[in-house]
Structure 1
Amino acid sequence: MKEDNLKLVHQDIDEALAAIENMEEDLKNETLSTDGVKEKFMFLSQKLQELENILKTEGII
């Protein structure tokens, strides 16, 4: 895998994990609205799409 793509994948994964951890904490504290949940899932969906595109570019999937 190209070094640049590897860094992008690592960054995307870190951002997605941070978003999941934040969402989990907000859900535990019941401070996340329905719109907030939707926004977080849209963000995660975008990150997954970016990861998929990089993996396709690299011929991994």
Structure 2
Amino acid sequence: MDDNKIKLAQKDIDDALSTVEAMEKCINESTLTNEEIKKKFMTLSEKVQQIEDILKTEGII
């Protein structure tokens, strides 16, 4: 896996983790509407799919 793809995968993983942490905080504080939670979850799902695609392309999974 070349350095650029490793950096991209790491950035995507970090972004996904940040999204999860933000969602968890907002859910616990009840500051998000159901629609906002759904939007954040969809963003998270897209990021996870991008990470999975990179890892598959590189033969890691």
Q: Per-residue deviation at 1:40?
A: 0.9
User: Which residue matches 2:4?
Assistant: 4
Over the matched positions of the two proteins, sequence identity in percent amounts to 49
TM-score normalised over the length of structure 1: 0.93
TM-score normalised over the length of structure 2: 0.93
Q: How many residues align?
A: 61
Unmatched segments (≥5 aa) in structure 2: none
Runs of 4+ in 1 over 2 A off after TM superposition: none
The separation in 2 between residues aligned to 1:31 and 1:4, in whole angstroms, is 37
RMSD, aligned α-carbons: 0.8
Counterpart secondary structure, 1:7: helix
